[in-house]
Amino acid sequence: MKPRVFAAFVAPSLLMMLIFIAAPLVSVFGQSFYVTQPVYETVEVESCTPGFPTANCVTETKSQPVRDEDGRIETRTLFVGLESYRNLLQFDRVGEYLSSGNWASILNVDFWAALRFTVMFTLITLPIVIVLGLAIALAVNNAVRSIRGPVIFMSLLPFIITPVIGALSIRWLFIGDGILTAALEEVLNRDIAMFAQGWTIELMMYFYRVWHVAPFAFVIFYAGLQTVNQDTLESAIVDGANRWQRLRFVVIPHLGPLITFVALIHLMDAYRVFEEIVGFSSQSHVISLQWLTYDFLQPDDAGNRAISRASASAMLTMVGIVILLIAPVRRAWREHKGER
């Protein structure tokens, strides 16, 4: 392909990436070092109550925001350096907890509680999604051809459903007198409150993520199984390899690049977990880094937003994603170099 033709194809994508990805990232990174605050002024306010023979007047000093000619509150932007990161990470409190041996209290800091759940959510669901997706792909690939179509369609339904709707559906099955909760109470002969404890909510969130994402892994692995070299499989059978040995030494190595691809997609998506927090209304028990960023952007009683801390939280989330992606990216690079 000629350089001009290649540039014509690549330039629009690069331009869109610069506008919608690179520029916002640079903007968020810059905002994490600045704080925008309303400008306040001190004024004396006199309030009077009826009295005899004269009214009783009291003068109070109050602070109120300064407004411009159009009635909007004036603001000023200050450079605070790493202050937003320090407020977010709260190393002073963490140090006190560590020095006193009270490690569990670290989770009282919102960022570390969100980080704990986000990392566990990502790393626990990843192997389950891969194993379950591969198991479904193998089962469908060995099924009778006439039922493969309906099975594939039914398997894809969880992935087609909108994430928030799926999370709400699972929540409605368990909350209060939901169908599954009522069935469990009938079997166990005891009252069950699935949303009264943090660990039960986490289990349901893990279940939902696996239920929602496993079909994606299944489709990828099923497509990969169609390209497995049949001559190699037949040779393995002739050599006396059983099903497990053929799977371990022939099928899985062949699907290695696809497993890496699924892992990359899942790591990037699961680390930005947000829909489950909203769908399961778990904010009082469990929060994620993405939800923490969203919470900082919500206006307080005075209408102010913690944009600087939200930007710092977003940047730290990006750093976490990059760290998690190092291992699979290195593996993919080694496989690519080995093929060449």
DSSP result, 242-297: -HHHHIIIIIHHHTHHHHHHHHHHHHHHHTT--HHHHHTT-TTT---HHHHHHHHT
Beta strands in 154-202 (DSSP E): none
Supply angle C-alpha 39, 41, 46, rounded to 5. Answer: 145
> How far, in Å, CA of 297 to CA of 291, rounded?
10
Q: Provide the domain limits for residue 118.
A: 104-339
* Pairwise CA distance, residues 264 & 217, whole Å: 11
pTM beyond cutoff 0.85: no
Question: Is position 225 within any domain?
Answer: yes
Asked if residue 326 is part of any domain, the answer here is yes
Whether residue 15 is contained in a domain is answered as no
Residue 221: CATH number of its domain: 1.10.3720.10
Residue 138 lies in a domain: yes
Residue 90 belongs to a domain: no
Say what the pLDDT of residue 67 is: 78
β partners of residue 225: none
pLDDT of residue 130: 94
Residue 238 inside a domain? The answer is: yes
Note whether residue 286 is domain-resident: yes
| Res. 132 pLDDT band, cuts 50 70 90 | very high
Output 121 or 76, whichever has higher pLDDT. Answer: 121
Per-residue pLDDT tens over the stretch 145-165: 778 788 888 888 888 888 888
Domain assignment present for 200: yes
Tens digits of residue pLDDT in 227-253: 888 888 888 888 888 888 888 888 888
Q: How many domains does the chain have?
A: 1
